[in-house]
Amino acid sequence: MNDLSFTFSDTIAGYVTRFDQGSKRFVMKTTDGREFAVDLTDTMSAELVRNLGEPYADASAIVQQMLVPGRYLFAYGVFYPQGGGHVFEAQRLVFVGRKEDQYQFEKQDWWIKQVASLGNSYLKWQFGDKEVDYRTYRTILNLTGEKKGDKRQETDTISRLVYGFASAYLMTGEDRYLVGAERGTQYLRDHMRFVDKDEDIVYWYHGIDVEATTETKIFASEFGDDYDAIPMYEQIYALAGPTQTYRITGDRAS
């Protein structure tokens, strides 16, 4: 870092070792033992880490009280070359708890709440306020969770969604996630699978294009280097969701 000759942004995670209020600079040490001096700026913001669905928790007014030795935090800022070395100016600090020995993500229900928030969002984005019907599923969503008007249903993405719903059920016990997993598994069986009875082999389609009451099967991959091939990883991905659902239901349906 001493020969730094350009400006760039980065995030540092580590523990506070000391803080000098006069210079508005603190030192933090990463888990692999490296130390970084961090300069506070007048335009910097600070917050407490929050889970999905939780409101913003501002900590900008109490930064100096929070910078005590041993506290873990994330510092996002800009490295600037200066005098043959560099300085790091913080633009945003994220504290992982209100107390120096507190870690919000270690709360008993942290990950349960997170997976529930994800599960509810995907149910809303894909199926709205209607029953779970994978005929309306679409692979591509925009940043706000809205469908972009395409007609593609990719096997792998449905299977991963099914895996997520099944895992959400295992963590929360909420039946709506199990419904999403079971109906997705059945949809994969009915629409995304080709059974070669002569060779006793099952292949999974890359996906299907759905238009009104018709669907067009896409057998081979349409991804980059795998184009027009049947890559093993796609076949494995197709099994992820149904396998996780089987762990819950024990359903051996073929």
pLDDT the model gives residue 3: 65
pLDDT, tens digit (0-9, with 9 covering 90-100), for 227-245: 888 889 899 999 999 999 9
Q: Does 56 score more than 80 pLDDT?
A: yes
Q: Does 161 score more than 90 pLDDT?
A: yes
pLDDT the model gives residue 150: 87
In percent, the amount of the chain with pLDDT more than 70 equals: 98
Q: Are 184 and 177 in contact (CB under 8 A)?
A: no
pLDDT the model gives residue 192: 95
Beta-strand pair 214-218/35-39: unpaired
Q: Are 217 and 208 in contact (CB under 8 A)?
A: yes
Q: Does 7 score more than 70 pLDDT?
A: yes
Rg (CA), the chain: 25
Q: Are 74 and 104 in contact (CB under 8 A)?
A: no
d(CA 165, CA 122): 9
pLDDT the model gives residue 148: 84
CA distances from 37 to 22, 30, 42 (A): 14, 11, 17
pLDDT the model gives residue 249: 96
pLDDT the model gives residue 229: 87
pLDDT the model gives residue 252: 85
pLDDT, tens digit (0-9, with 9 covering 90-100), for 99-129: 999 999 999 999 999 999 999 999 999 999 9
Concatenating the DSSP letter of every residue in 160-210 gives HHHHHHHHHHHHH--HHHHHHHHHHHHHHHHHSEEEETTTTEEEE-SEEEE
Which amino acid is it at 18?
R
pLDDT the model gives residue 172: 97
> Tokens 């030795």 map to which residue?
69
Confidence bin at 136 (pLDDT 50/70/90): very high
d(CA 231, CA 223): 10
Domains of the chain: 8-106 (2.40.50.140), 110-249 (no CATH)
CA distances from 122 to 84, 119, 153 (A): 50, 5, 15
pLDDT, tens digit (0-9, with 9 covering 90-100), for 162-215: 999 999 999 999 999 999 999 999 999 999 999 999 999 999 999 999 987 899
pLDDT the model gives residue 84: 77
Confidence bin at 254 (pLDDT 50/70/90): low
pLDDT, tens digit (0-9, with 9 covering 90-100), for 22-35: 999 999 999 999 99
